[in-house]
Amino acid sequence: GAQRESKVRVRAHFDYNPEVDPYIPCKEAGLAFQRGDILHIVSQDDSYWWQARRESERTARAGLIPSRALQERRIIHERTQREIGDGESKKNDDFDRELIATYEEVAKLYPRPGIYRPVVLIGAPGVGRNELRRRLIARDPEKYRSPVPYTTRPMRTGEVAGREYIFVSREKMEADIEAGKFIEHGEYKGHLYGTSAESVKSIVNAGCVCLLSPHYQAIKALRTVQLKPFLIHIKPPEFDELKKTRTDSRAKSTFDESNARGFTDEEFTDMIKSSVRIDFLYGHFFDEEILNADLVTAFEKLVNIVQRVETEPLWAPSSWVQ
């Protein structure tokens, strides 16, 4: 018709299949999509059923999808049913996901010359995000840099202040954490560790690509308009392949040196479980995924992704675009 199409684009934070939706007025008119898909919302005229097409299928006919309001209601309803049903209390961070798991408005973020978005590698411990980060820095240390972390632990022989860590007192670090100067921090064997916001900023301002590989709990603190990070989930392959690629004598020597002792079956299982949980909680925040089965292949994909981040306009939360 003559009606003007809306320009709204959203990233779906949930999977949708109209075939199994008992509420949709007409299943044939529905549009199926998956979490992470970019959707062009053609019409929001109806408060329950929006019309949309997948951004990757620009010429396709628009289909019906649940509106944000409808999907939010559904989530609240399902949660209530579940709570009545099993009475099982949920982990606190489950709510992080459910509160926002509908649609996120996105727009194309254009690369700015000389100012690169930080690239954040998230993954279960042991899957290889630190090794991938180290390889990228080794490939071009002028361009790719990681901030030197802060710690309150004493310096070890052979370490240089400002090289492995910036060594500070516990009082100073606690005060700085309190003042919001750290983008992430944690405690390990009685000592504090963390990355300061200032050190990330100075890498960005120096015209370098800042690489971070924090604990996944840092995602929410990092995902700000100031940093505009690009998030990559480094995932393990399924058990047999994970075990094979990490136990193979040739593969072992090329993996993280801290892995040289090898992993137990239980540790492999934990990596997979942890990765599934990261995906459940934060899957909708990831811009890309890299399957780290073969390290060489995974690294090639990382190089490719980082090149695109540096040069191409990419979908990002619309609030980050001006």
Tokens 């540096």 found at:
310
The C-alpha R_g of the chain, in whole angstroms, comes to: 22
Should residue 188 be labelled a site residue for ligand 5GP when binding is judged by CB under 6 A? Answer: yes
- CB 13 to ligand 5GP: min, Å: 27
Should residue 185 be labelled a site residue for ligand 5GP when binding is judged by CB under 6 A? Answer: yes
Number of neighbours of residue 130 by Cβ within 10 angstroms: 17
DSSP 131-171: HHHHHHHHH-TTTEE-PPPEE-SPPPTT--BTTTBEE--HH
Bridge pairing between strands 209-212 and 119-122:
parallel
Nearer to ligand 5GP, 8 or 132 (CB): 132
Q: Of the listed pieces 52-60, 185-193, 268-276, 297-305, which binds ligand 5GP according to CB under 6 A?
A: 185-193
Would you state the structure tokens that stand for residue 316, as one six-digit string? 């990002």
- Which of 25, 32, 31, 105 lies closest to 61 in space, CA to CA? 31
Bridge partner residues of 235 (DSSP): 291
Q: Of the listed pieces 100-108, 167-175, 187-195, 286-294, which binds ligand 5GP according to CB under 6 A?
A: 187-195
Task: Print the binding letters for residues 206-245 with ligand 5GP: x by CB under 6 A, - otherwise.
Answer: ---------x------------------------------
DSSP 199-213: HHHHHHHTT-EEEE-
The residue within the footprint of ligand 5GP, chosen from 51, 67, 146, 195 (CB under 6 A), is: 195
Should residue 154 be labelled a site residue for ligand 5GP when binding is judged by CB under 6 A? Answer: no
Asked whether 55 and 103 are in contact (CB, 8 A), the reply is no
- CB 218 to ligand 5GP: min, Å: 8
Nearer to ligand 5GP, 22 or 190 (CB): 190
Should residue 176 be labelled a site residue for ligand 5GP when binding is judged by CB under 6 A? Answer: no
Should residue 184 be labelled a site residue for ligand 5GP when binding is judged by CB under 6 A? Answer: yes
Nearer to ligand 5GP, 214 or 236 (CB): 214
Mapping DSSP to helix (H, G, I), strand (E, B) and coil, where does residue 297 land?
helix
Q: Where on the chain is the footprint of ligand 5GP (CB under 6 A)?
A: 149, 153, 184-186, 188, 193-195, 215
